[in-house]
Amino acid sequence: MDKTFLNLFARRGLSLDRLRVLLEIADAGGIAKAVGKDPVRQSQYSRQLKELEEYFGVELTRRDGKSLVLTRAGQQLADIIRQNFLGLADFATACAHEPAIFHLGAGDSLIHWKVLPHIGAFQKVFPAIIMSIRNLQTAQIIDALHSLRLDFGIMRRNAIPSVFKSVSLGKMEYALFVPKQLLPGSSGKTCEWVMNNVPMVAMDSSGEFARKLDEMMRRSRIKMNIRLECESFPAACHAIQSGCYAGILPTMAATDLPEDKFVRIEAPLFKRLSREIALAWNPRIMRLRSASVEIASWFGKNL
């Protein structure tokens, strides 16, 4: 066949270290951030980067203000390198009989109420795998899936780019949760009455949920009696558990709010907030890391 990648090794200048340096710079977003403390290596990183550029005859980075950004070619090469290292690293961990690490990204609520409740069962089925769970926003997850920094992501289905594969994890619905002590008398108050009269905790994030909720409230001309803002649903849930606030939470949160102390009010209004969520992954990962096939299928069945 061909002379074993002669075009790669005829010239010199290619080395694993230099490739790794490019990857580090790419991941960190600049030389300074890549070397962190120990700025002594700054010059080395700069030089190795230049040597790589000489080897390939292509600009891999461009100055962007004081810092660097990868060119298109640089990003491509970084992707190739990441893919290569992933393969080798997996082989190495397998050889060392060490557990492989898989990275899963998801939002706070999904981590707390969708993933963690099943993580014990996961551990039993996959005793030789380390799961690293990262709290990320949808856009970050998508970016990390593209570059293979994450193996899996959980997010709303309609946000998943079509290049990714996915498996549905069911619907996420919302409901209003109210501490009983804040409800006067016995009778069922309406959702609207609660939101107007009870101190409410609300989400302060810039995400899709807050946007949709805002719009809904404006349309239906309900004004919520907001007295606390939180950045995540689990935080809001804690506030509600204190007994002093009501709030809109994913219905999954019910496990943390016992029925004898909290009332859960569903309303047609909330239907518009509901969304299908899914486990998503870059199809490349399945070829690179064989265990990922079973993991994806397990998540699809059990979450």
**Contact call for residue 128 and a second copy (CB under 8 A):** no
Residues 229/210, Cβ–Cβ less than 8 Å: no
**Contact call for residue 40 and a second copy (CB under 8 A):** no
In the complex, the smallest distance separating the C-beta of residue 192 from DNA, rounded to whole angstroms, is 47
Choice from 40, 63, 66, 95 touching a second copy (CB under 8 A)? 95
In terms of CB distance, is 18 or 284 closer to DNA?
Answer: 18
Backbone angles phi, psi at 189, to 5 degrees: -80, 155
**Contact call for residue 6 and DNA (CB under 7 A):** no
Helix (H, G, I), strand (E, B), or coil: what is residue 228? strand
**Largest CA-CA distance found in the chain, in angstroms, rounded:** 85
Residues 132/181, Cβ–Cβ less than 8 Å: no
183 to 202: interface string for DNA, x by CB under 7 A = --------------------
Cross-sheet strand order for the sheet of 200-203:
226-230, 200-203, 246-250, 174-179, 262-265
Partner whose binding site includes residue 266, from a second copy, DNA, none (CB under 5 to 8 Å by kind):
none
**Contact call for residue 13 and DNA (CB under 7 A):** yes
Residues 227/199, Cβ–Cβ less than 8 Å: yes
**Contact call for residue 43 and DNA (CB under 7 A):** yes
Residues 93/99, Cβ–Cβ less than 8 Å: yes
129-135 vs 100-106, strand pairing mode: parallel
Partner whose binding site includes residue 31, from a second copy, DNA, none (CB under 5 to 8 Å by kind):
DNA
In terms of CB distance, is 48 or 232 closer to DNA?
Answer: 48
Partner whose binding site includes residue 280, from a second copy, DNA, none (CB under 5 to 8 Å by kind):
none
Residues that bind DNA (CB under 7 A): 12-18, 30-33, 39-44, 46-51, 61, 63, 65-68
